[in-house]
Structure 1
Amino acid sequence: YCKESSTYLSSGKGSFKIRLVNVRTPYVFALLTGGFDAPSLVATSKQVTFSSPNEPLQPHLALTNDPTTLLLTWNTRDSKEPKVKFWQNTTTNIRTQAATSNKYTSKDMCGPPATTVGYIDPGMLHTAKLSGLTPGQEYNYQFGDDPEWSQVFSFRMPPAPSPNASITFIAFGDMGEAQVDDTLQPIHAQPPAINNTNLMAKEVNERDLVLHIGDISYARGYAGVWDEFFDLIQPISSRVPYMVCGGNHERDYPHSGSYYEGTDSGGEPMYIDSTAGVQTASDLVVSKELQDNVEPLLLEYKVDLAFWGHHHSYQRTCPVAKKVCQDDGTAPVHVVIGMAGQSLSGNIQEKQPDWIRFVNVHDYGYTRISVSPLSLTLEYIKSDGTLKDTFTLKHTNPFDFLKYEKAVVNTDPSVVITVTPNQLNKSGDWVTVAWDGVSHPSDTDWIGVYAPPNGEESIDPSKIAPVKYQ
């Protein structure tokens, strides 16, 4: 309101500062009377323009099904030959990758307000595939088109998939955005999202990716909210892959297409979403059917951890199957992580079921997950940096994933394994194992260290487990 300026009500004049995100078109300021119920336009300003209206903005990295390739998406007003320049260490070996471009209009949207008052021309959306990257290595990059180029950003490739790999990532849901200058929007904003993104940005250099499991910006038909959202997450999405799932607020308009279909990047996680209140048409009516059909899949494929959103809270279960706590490592732990920004939910049972281990409906935040071959640790971080909850999952049998029943013996006399020394002095001595002659090497080949019974020299991998592996 104008009255936020201390001189306005007494003098009819005032001023305050407002932060503007480049939305690819000039801004016009207006003064209106009558509040929000009966707005009446009194005056408008001259246009406010950006010196670089075609400024490349909104960088967003994403994983693909190739561990040596990332996708980069960004936005401009228009472009003739959009591309990315990327390099390691110095600028002496710059690679360039052309981008593909597309856009949408109001006619592509489902209905109002996206087709009417909420529509802003989105400009062009550009996507480039950065291939031939080395897992774990640092790269610099710049995107745009002559003469408009972005600032120089950098990213570190996630580690390559491997039985020995360790990764660490951030996960949350139901975040949204808000104006850092405290201005209002046509829809309800989520101010806690600012603290969360600022805190995540401080640690993102130590993470391999971010997982936002649904209810992304809460734009709800107002396109300008997406510009503000991408501006808010830029310090994160420009640095690590920012992976998302669709929530109900991304596909909640009637006839907006199938919720379950889309282009497969090769790495989407499963996401099941609740979209209604308690009524005859509510999905809560079929919750038993969901449990009956989904839970067996999670158990069959030995899922350790399941993330859920939509309810704006943090909740954690024991390892649970059929509403009964199980031994660690034998059933998935379910964690609700919908506490990243949208108003927190208070509809929690007073008496929690026996399989609930932790509930918090008071603190915004996100989760930090560290995964190694034998353990997974999750930390619930409040938006002020306080640790609110943590737990660790461990595999009681580290070779539980090894399919013994599928193991075969198919020896190749041309492959030679040598171990030196083969006579050791004491427990804890080191050896060097070397191999040669593999005609078709694969990234899934591995070395097993076995201790055959009775000192036998031959082994049958279908009948004996390795002591360790590499």
Structure 2
Amino acid sequence: MDFRGVILLLLVFVGYPWVSVPSAAVRTSGEDYVRPPPRATLNLPSRRTKQSSDPQQVHISLAGGKHMRITWVTSSEASPSVVDYGKLRGKYTSTSMGESTSYTFLFYKSGKIHNVVIGPLEDDTVYYYRCGGEGPEFHLKTPPAQFPITFTVAGDLGQTGWTSSTLDHMDHCDYDIHLLPGDLSYADYQQHLWDSFGDLIQPLASARPWMVTEGNHEKELLPLFSSEFRSFNARWKMPFEESGSPSNLFYSFNVAGAHIVMLGSYTDYDQYSDQHNWLKADLAEVDRTKTPWLLVLFHVPWYNSNRAHQGEGDDMRASLEPLLYAAGTDLILTGHVHAYERTERVAGGRLDPCGALHITIGDGGNREGLATRYLDPQPDWSAFREASFGHGELKIVNGTHSLWTWHRNDDDEPVRSDQVWITSLASSGCLSRRPDKLEFGKISVGP
């Protein structure tokens, strides 16, 4: 093992100091709002107990075709991977069996991770369910089949006091699905933090589907060990197989009238890669008469006027933006930069009425603090930017209009700080200007 590997091993067992927290509130030039400093990491010891069959870290996700995946962890290896469910509290009319897995990470061994797909389920309906044949009852609500539908969005969550505020504010939204563009637990090799993160989000994630993609803090790559994305893939199985993807790191799904694509910023994306080939085929199958909205999420932003992480998305943008532009992508949501920014419609580095609207929302509550330094002057494509913790809410009202709102965490109150109506490209005439779908790879955008 090389020197870097030794250092990483030491970090796993003894911990390491995170980015320091400012001792005073931060004010940026020209803004009246004074941002409070980041809050400390929560003390959330794992509730895993030896031989316990109680379901822990329960979260749900869409599994395609009116099905839902229920995921939970038990300490007991004997606990069965079974879910009983029904539409009446305490009365279960259906049972589904599933599968289980576990993983090791150096000297850590996870609990038994259960994955059970239930359904078919009725749209816009509350179901009650029980995991493992015993224990507490949970409930979930399936998404609607038609508009309107509401998404919450927050990236770079972590496990701090601000994470708690963000989750609390989301809990007061009447939403259908949560979208998370990477950086979930901030475990960073310390595997018990995956367990505490699962417990932290369980009240929300067990009731509404969470659809996630990976960020850099999910990579957890150790030299000389095959560990890349091991924890993420074991704990957060997404419907990649249902969408024809070869990898859990990128996939797509349909809900109501939206086609949503989750891409991987940290897996190959050049024109010869599996991800590029899969995306090209996936977009070619999108029927904008049935799904007039096309949304895309990944971790590293392509359009970013913050000084943090400048240029990191350039290579991915060069490879994949032509495909997304040709497909008429309406909205691209990213994280990574710990601040909020919304662009105008843009493509090829310049304003374009048929380009995507980009939103960076890597401000869910992470322990690393806010990215407060912006480029000056502000680019013409940057419409609104602010370094504050918060979450977004996207309400797709119908096939032509949606309402985007960003809620800043002002102390412990959600304050609506940015709001804009978005018109779909499917209704704007832009799609008629696109080349044939089979020619996606030949289009070029920008200068």
- Which of the five TM-score ranges fits, normalised by the shorter chain? 0.5 to 0.7
Aligned 1:184-195 pairs, distance under 5 A: 190-195=160-165
Which residue of structure 1 lines up, in the alignment, with residue 67 of structure 2?
69
Which residue of structure 2 lines up, in the alignment, with residue 200 of structure 1?
170
Q: In the TM superposition, what is the alpha-carbon distance from 1:400 to its structure 2 partner?
A: 4.8
Counterpart amino acid of residue 196 in structure 1: T
Q: Which of 419, 423, 439 matches 1:390?
A: 419
293-302 vs 215-224, which moves further: 293-302
Say if 1:166 and 1:373, in contact at 8 Å, map to a contact too.
no
Which residue of structure 2 lines up, in the alignment, with residue 375 of structure 1?
401
Q: In the TM superposition, what is the alpha-carbon distance from 1:301 to its structure 2 partner?
A: 0.6
Which residue of structure 2 lines up, in the alignment, with residue 37 of structure 1?
none
Counterpart amino acid of residue 390 in structure 2: G
- Sort the Cα spacing of 1:356 and 1:271 in 2 relative to 1 into closer, same or farther, 3 A: farther
- Sort the Cα spacing of 1:155 and 1:285 in 2 relative to 1 into closer, same or farther, 3 A: closer
Q: In the TM superposition, what is the alpha-carbon distance from 1:288 to its structure 2 partner?
A: 4.4
Which residue of structure 1 lines up, in the alignment, with residue 190 of structure 2?
222
Corresponding position: 1:24 with 2:49:
yes
Aligned 1:430-441 pairs, distance under 5 A: none
- Sort the Cα spacing of 1:229 and 1:91 in 2 relative to 1 into closer, same or farther, 3 A: closer
Q: In the TM superposition, what is the alpha-carbon distance from 1:90 to its structure 2 partner?
A: 5.4
Corresponding position: 1:340 with 2:364:
yes
Corresponding position: 1:158 with 2:158:
no
- Sort the Cα spacing of 1:396 and 1:192 in 2 relative to 1 into closer, same or farther, 3 A: closer
Say if 2:189 and 2:220, in contact at 8 Å, map to a contact too.
no
Distance in 1, matches of 2:74 and 2:152, equals: 28
Q: Which of 263, 267, 270 matches 1:270?
A: 263
Say if 1:23 and 1:224, in contact at 8 Å, map to a contact too.
no
Distance in 2, matches of 1:382 and 1:86, equals: 37
How high is the sequence identity, in percent, across the aligned residues?
26
Distance in 2, matches of 1:385 and 1:139, equals: 29
Corresponding position: 1:301 with 2:327:
yes
Query: What TM-score, normalized by structure 1, do the two folds share?
Result: 0.62
Say if 1:64 and 1:266, in contact at 8 Å, map to a contact too.
no
Q: In the TM superposition, what is the alpha-carbon distance from 1:366 to its structure 2 partner?
A: 0.6
Counterpart amino acid of residue 129 in structure 2: Y
Say if 2:84 and 2:129, in contact at 8 Å, map to a contact too.
yes
- Sort the Cα spacing of 1:397 and 1:201 in 2 relative to 1 into closer, same or farther, 3 A: closer
Distance in 2, matches of 1:339 and 1:285, equals: 19
Q: In the TM superposition, what is the alpha-carbon distance from 1:369 to its structure 2 partner?
A: 0.4
Higher helix share: 2
395-404 vs 363-372, which moves further: 395-404
Based on CA coordinates, which of the two structures has the bigger radius of gyration? 1
**SS of residue in 2 equivalent to 1:60:** strand
- Sort the Cα spacing of 1:82 and 1:295 in 2 relative to 1 into closer, same or farther, 3 A: closer
Which residue of structure 1 lines up, in the alignment, with residue 127 of structure 2?
139
Which residue of structure 1 lines up, in the alignment, with residue 209 of structure 2?
241
Instruction: Please give the root-mean-square deviation of Cα atoms over the aligned residues, in Å.
Output: 3.0
Unpaired runs of 5+ residues, structure 1, are 1-17, 26-51, 110-114, 178-189, 276-281, 406-470
Unpaired runs of 5+ residues, structure 2, are 1-42, 231-244, 254-260, 266-298, 302-307, 435-447
**SS of residue in 2 equivalent to 1:386:** strand
Say if 1:168 and 1:207, in contact at 8 Å, map to a contact too.
yes
Distance in 1, matches of 2:180 and 2:334, equals: 11
Say if 1:367 and 1:381, in contact at 8 Å, map to a contact too.
yes
Q: In the TM superposition, what is the alpha-carbon distance from 1:299 to its structure 2 partner?
A: 1.3
Which residue of structure 2 lines up, in the alignment, with residue 172 of structure 1?
154
Counterpart amino acid of residue 249 in structure 1: H
Distance in 1, matches of 2:425 and 2:336, equals: 32
Distance in 2, matches of 1:287 and 1:128, equals: 35
Say if 2:61 and 2:209, in contact at 8 Å, map to a contact too.
yes
Which residue of structure 2 lines up, in the alignment, with residue 94 of structure 1?
93
Which residue of structure 1 lines up, in the alignment, with residue 113 of structure 2?
125
**SS of residue in 2 equivalent to 1:74:** strand
Query: What TM-score, normalized by structure 2, do the two folds share?
Result: 0.66
- Sort the Cα spacing of 1:396 and 1:176 in 2 relative to 1 into closer, same or farther, 3 A: closer
Q: In the TM superposition, what is the alpha-carbon distance from 1:292 to its structure 2 partner?
A: 3.1
The C-alpha deviation readout for 1:2-43, integer Å capped at 9, x for no partner, is: xxxxxxxxxxxxxxxx87541224xxxxxxxxxxxxxxxxxx
Distance in 2, matches of 1:258 and 1:194, equals: 25
- Sort the Cα spacing of 1:226 and 1:332 in 2 relative to 1 into closer, same or farther, 3 A: same
Distance in 2, matches of 1:270 and 1:245, equals: 7
Higher relative contact order (CA 8 A, sep 6+): 2
Say if 2:404 and 2:420, in contact at 8 Å, map to a contact too.
yes
Counterpart amino acid of residue 156 in structure 2: D
**SS of residue in 2 equivalent to 1:385:** strand
